Amino acid sequence: MEEGEVSVLIGGKAGEGISSAGQVIAHLLGQLGYRVYMYFDYPSLIKGGHNFAIIRGAGEQIGAVRDRVDIILALDRETLRVHEWRLNGQGVVVCNADTVKNLPGIGIPVGAILASEQAPPVMGNSAILGAFVRASGIPWPLAEAVFAKSFRKGTAQNLRIARKGCDASEERLRIPALGKAPLPAFTGNEAMGIGLVEAGLGVYLSYPMSPTSNLMHFLAGKPGSRGSGSSSPRGRSRSSSRPSGAPMPGPVPRWGPRGAGSPSWWRPWASPAWLSFRP
């Protein structure tokens, strides 16, 4: 691990919360004073297949990740099959012992931990995150505070699972605190949402699809922010007809070419996202 820098890869199946877990790692590094950049592989998958995220922290502002990583968090064997080449010589592997067999690293009995809490499989990433905390020498009180803010559903249960994952792990290296003030960490969609609200967004109408949905959810979670609103019309016909009423209260409608399907990029009546700004 280079001085003042660390890179972490987490991987598993689509639907196992890999992106969310990566964001938690980014917040952990941010609290240690690192400037963080996260890359999330975004294939067209719903469940199954392979997802991964690379989170890089450094002492100075960065705008990309490196190929090599210091820690691999593997929720399944595929993660190691695809990414083991990335691991630095002194790197550490933390894996789900139920799915990754006979490989060097720290094996965490994720299934047994979940069973002890009667928890669903998707909470397995909490056990791996807890194991990462111990393996990298991050103080538990700091991690617990980040987890408590990040686990918005089933907070207490997720915290217990993370603590059991931490207890089942062992320290292999230490990610040092840099002594710098933490900076806020947010996704590109959240940054776009903040910009839209600051620009005077009044109404946001969106067809629910990736990657538009995350922006819609962010705006919907802040209904009182400068009077902005968000709506998700279900169905293409409703999505195309709803914006016709947007100008009535006053805002001038704008349409945003976001989402998949090239035809919707140039036909405003079929656009998956509409924006209205207050005059």
Instruction: Name beta bridge partners: 72.
Output: 9, 93
Q: Are residues 199 and 257 in the same domain?
A: yes
Q: Are residues 213 and 262 in the same domain?
A: yes
Residue 102 structure tokens: 């006979």
Give the burial class of 154: count Cβ atoms within 10 A of its Cβ; 0-12 exposed, 13-18 middle, 19 or more buried.
middle
pLDDT digits (tens, 9 = 90+) for 70-101: 999 999 999 999 999 999 988 999 999 999 88
Q: What CA–CA distance (Å, rounded) separates 87 from 256?
A: 40
Q: Are residues 51 and 18 in the same domain?
A: yes
Identify the CATH number of the domain in which residue 17 sits.
3.40.920.10
Q: Are residues 155 and 209 in the same domain?
A: no
Q: Are residues 45 and 90 in the same domain?
A: yes
Task: Please state the domain count of the chain.
Answer: 2
Q: Are residues 89 and 142 in the same domain?
A: yes
Query: Is residue 173 in a domain?
Result: no
pLDDT digits (tens, 9 = 90+) for 114-167: 999 999 999 999 999 999 999 999 999 999 999 999 998 899 999 999 999 999
Q: Are residues 140 and 192 in the same domain?
A: no
Picking from 11-15, 24-28, 201-205, which range would have the lowest pLDDT averaged per residue? 201-205
Query: Is residue 183 in a domain?
Result: no
Note if the pTM is more than 0.75: yes
Q: Are residues 202 and 152 in the same domain?
A: no
Range of the structural domain that residue 265 is part of: 188-277
Q: What CA–CA distance (Å, rounded) separates 94 from 100?
A: 10
pLDDT digits (tens, 9 = 90+) for 30-53: 999 999 999 988 676 666 788 999
Q: Are residues 151 and 242 in the same domain?
A: no
Give the burial class of 199: count Cβ atoms within 10 A of its Cβ; 0-12 exposed, 13-18 middle, 19 or more buried.
exposed
Q: Are residues 82 and 115 in the same domain?
A: yes
